[in-house]
Amino acid sequence: MSTPASPPRIGRLAAGPLDAITDVSGVTVGHVTRDEGDVQTGVTVIRPHAGDPYRDKVPAGLAVINGFGKSVGLVQLEELGQLETPIALTNTFSVPTLSQAQIRDCAAHNPETGRGQPALAAAGTDFAQGAVGAGRGMSSFQLKGGIGSASRRVPLRHGGSFTVGALVLANYGLLPNLLWGGQAVDAQLAKRIDDEAHAQAGATEKGSIIMVLATDAPLDARQLGRLALRAGVGLARTGSVYGHGSGDIALAFSTAYTLPHLPERPMPAVTLLHETQLDGLFQAAADSVEQAIVHALWHAQAVAGRNGHRRAALRDLLAPRR
255-307 pLDDT tens trace: 999 999 999 999 999 999 999 999 999 999 999 999 999 999 999 998 886 66
Residue 208 is among the residues annotated as catalytic for this protein: yes
Whether residue 207 lies inside any domain: the answer is yes
3-state class of 253 per DSSP? Answer: strand
Give the DSSP letter of residue 124.
B
57-68 pLDDT tens trace: 999 999 999 998
Phi then psi for 132, rounded to 5 degrees?
A: -130, 160
- Cα separation, 214 vs 26, in Å, equals 10
Within 10 angstroms of residue 254's Cβ, the number of other Cβ atoms is 29
Whether residue 233 lies inside any domain: the answer is yes
Q: Is the pLDDT reported for residue 2 higher than 60? A: no
CA–CA distances in Å: residue 305 to residues 5, 121, 200, 314: 28, 27, 16, 17
Q: Quick check: 222 and 59 in contact, CB under 8 A?
A: no
Whether residue 16 lies inside any domain: the answer is no
- Cα separation, 11 vs 166, in Å, equals 14
Whether residue 140 lies inside any domain: the answer is yes
Structural domain containing residue 28: 21-318
Q: Is the pLDDT reported for residue 154 higher than 70? A: yes
Specify burial of residue 82 (Cβ count, 10 A radius: 0-12, 13-18, 19+).
middle
Domain tally for the chain?
Answer: 1
Give the DSSP letter of residue 10.
P
The active-site residue, picked from 140, 246, 254, 288, is 246
The active-site residue, picked from 71, 94, 140, 208, is 208
- Cα separation, 243 vs 169, in Å, equals 16
**In terms of pTM, does the model score above 0.75?**
yes
CA–CA distances in Å: residue 34 to residues 158, 225, 288: 48, 33, 28
The active-site residue, picked from 248, 254, 287, 288, is 248
Average pLDDT rounded to a whole number, residues 25-44: 93
Specify burial of residue 67 (Cβ count, 10 A radius: 0-12, 13-18, 19+).
exposed
Residue 248 is among the residues annotated as catalytic for this protein: yes
183-229 pLDDT tens trace: 887 566 667 766 665 655 556 777 899 999 999 999 999 999 999 99
Whether residue 94 lies inside any domain: the answer is yes
Amino acid at 116: G
- Cα separation, 221 vs 104, in Å, equals 27
pLDDT at residue 101, rounded to an integer: 86
Whether residue 201 lies inside any domain: the answer is yes
The CATH number that applies at residue 123 is 3.60.70.12
Q: For residue 248, which of 287, 207, 291, 208 has the smallest C-alpha distance?
A: 208
Whether residue 12 lies inside any domain: the answer is no
Residue 25 is among the residues annotated as catalytic for this protein: no
- Range in 93-107, 145-159, 193-207, 246-260 the model is least confident about: 193-207
